[in-house]
Amino acid sequence: MPETETTILLAAKAVFLRKGLEAASMQDIAVEAGISRTLLHYYYRTKETLFRAILVHAVCEIIPRIASIVETDLPLMTKIERVVDNYLQLLLDDPLLPHFLVIEIRRDPQVLVELIRSRSGNFGALNRVQQQIADELRIPVPARHALAHLFTSVYGLVLFPFLAKPALDEVFFGDDPQAFPRFMQAQKPIILAMLAGLMKTPPAIPANGSPKAKTQNSPRRSSTIRR
């Protein structure tokens, strides 16, 4: 992607987040990007076209990665770990993205759903894991709702810190620009431990955040009570 177009997309994100799609103008975006309105119109004729370009870029960035993970025969918890890894990396590279997606979900969710369908084959890959999720969740749920339960759990744990970042910076991190990325890297094993707790046979989560299945040779805690 040309450098000027990347600058435009970043500027548009910032403007849309501040003002929303309806209130934002192409002039606002041109000023934010530090370019002329004529040059902006060379790349994007309308703010709606620009808004959709941002969505397309985000969806094309993440959906193929997630689909390739979901389609494997890996254990469910291994899939979850890889999905969390991919989302954390994407969001650390683009921390404004969660805010932008929330705006679009509230504004017109159908546009985002159709865009994801166009990149994921009508959710075929996701549908194939419905039964796997239902079988492995500790709390019984209908298979048709299993993915929704896991989806909201994963996304809540991964996305919410990014949505809350301004408050976290104000209360905990101050002016250190690296504090939040360090926090999210440290948060990963906590996220995985919480998600592992949803499974019937949760794997052990070591300090590096990679689930490992328990083996029969794992030492058991002694039941002897010391006096």
Confidence of residue 61 (pLDDT cuts 50, 70, 90): confident
Which has the higher per-residue pLDDT, 128 or 183? 183
Q: Are residues 66 and 28 in the same domain?
A: no
Q: Please, what is the average pLDDT of the chain?
A: 82
State the pTM of this model.
Answer: 0.74
What's the mean pLDDT in 173-194?
93
In a domain, 130, yes or no: yes
Confidence of residue 129 (pLDDT cuts 50, 70, 90): confident
In a domain, 187, yes or no: yes
Confidence of residue 21 (pLDDT cuts 50, 70, 90): confident
Q: Are residues 98 and 184 in the same domain?
A: yes
- Count: domains in the chain: 2
Are 27 and 37 contacting, i.e. CB atoms less than 8 angstroms apart?
yes
What's the mean pLDDT in 53-74?
82
In a domain, 212, yes or no: no
Q: Are residues 12 and 65 in the same domain?
A: no
In a domain, 9, yes or no: yes
**What is the domain extent for residue 101?**
59-196
Q: Are residues 89 and 170 in the same domain?
A: yes
What's the mean pLDDT in 184-207?
82
Q: Are residues 109 and 172 in the same domain?
A: yes
State pLDDT tens for residues 32-43: 999 999 999 999
Which has the higher per-residue pLDDT, 144 or 89? 89
Q: Are residues 133 and 187 in the same domain?
A: yes
Q: Are residues 98 and 32 in the same domain?
A: no
State pLDDT tens for residues 216-226: 444 444 444 34
Confidence of residue 205 (pLDDT cuts 50, 70, 90): low
Confidence of residue 80 (pLDDT cuts 50, 70, 90): very high
pLDDT of residue 67: 80
We report the CATH number of the domain holding residue 16 as: 1.10.10.60
Q: Are residues 118 and 83 in the same domain?
A: yes
